[in-house]
Amino acid sequence: MLDEAEGDSTGNRVEPVIQLLRQMSGGDGAVGLRGSAGGVAQRFSLAGSAFLSAINAPALLPQDRSRITEIELQMPDASRAGEVESIIEQCAALSAALRARAIAGFDRFLENRSLYRAALVAAACDARQTEQLGTLLAAADMMLHDDPIAPDRLSASIDEIRALITAMIEEDAEDSDAAQCLATLLTRQIDHWRGGAKSTIGHLVSLGRHPDHPDERRALRVYGLRLELQGDFGVHLLVANRHEGLSAIFRDTRWRNGGWRRALLRLMDAHVRDTPANFDGYKSRCVVIPEQWLR
């Protein structure tokens, strides 16, 4: 357990803990080797569960959100302090029995989890949501009931969390690595002035969508980007695989050194162009970003 797991201003305080939890989440846990003074290699592994609490929790990367379940607590009610203390005492008294019930009901938990996974897949959940929600719901049902979950209770349980499932799907789409990479690109401020203020890449894209704004389309090519117009103002954005303009934009990010190509290709309907495109005199193969991501 780690209390007050807030990140510092640089994020360096809690990041090593998150990295360790990421490694621990695998089947073998976090495994490492260390040499002794006598030249003998020692193997060690670390596996287990962790609980972190924080007022301002650090932002999790998509790969960590699939492993760590975040729960927001409600504001405490001072008028119920006595009731809360009584419940804590009851939990302490029941702790051994609850842990014993969890161990004794493990086979029931596994059966519940299989049923919940199938139901969550049918509810359009992805692998991360299926794993997280299925595990939590199966464990809760195992603790509350003596038999594996019945179909009617399973259906009612899924219906109760429909809104949560929708919110998780939308949040995951918005916070995916590919979407974050595109957001970094479109929100980057550049030395292109309009109306007395600097523009962003996204602003140039928005203006360049219209046929009567050729200057903005020409300006984008300096940064390794190219807007190609289609009928009825439809457009797609070409992003060069290699370009100094893009290297500068992504230099201090996890998509540096051409990493933006792999990330952007994970956007829905994004694809590689068969032939190189011309970016202000420099030809490069590129990723095609469809119009749905530019609106």
CB neighbour class for 20 (10 Å; exposed up to 12, middle 13-18, buried from 19): middle
| Residue at token pair 């009567």 | 212
First to last CA, the chain: 44
Least confident of 45-54, 173-182, 225-234, 278-287: 225-234
pLDDT of the residue at 128: 78
Most confident of 45-49, 190-194, 277-281: 277-281
CB burial of residue 23 (10 Å; 0-12, 13-18, 19+):
middle
Give the tens place of pLDDT for each residue, 232-259: 556 899 999 999 999 999 999 999 999 9
Mean pLDDT of 135-160: 93
Please name the residues in contact with 41: beta carbons below 8 A apart, sequence gap of 6 or more: 33, 34, 35
218 CB-near residues (< 8 Å, 6+ apart): 280
Among 143, 145, 147, 123, smallest CA distance to 133 is for 123
Read off the pLDDT of residues 204-223 as tens digits, 9 standing for 90 and up: 999 998 888 888 999 999 99
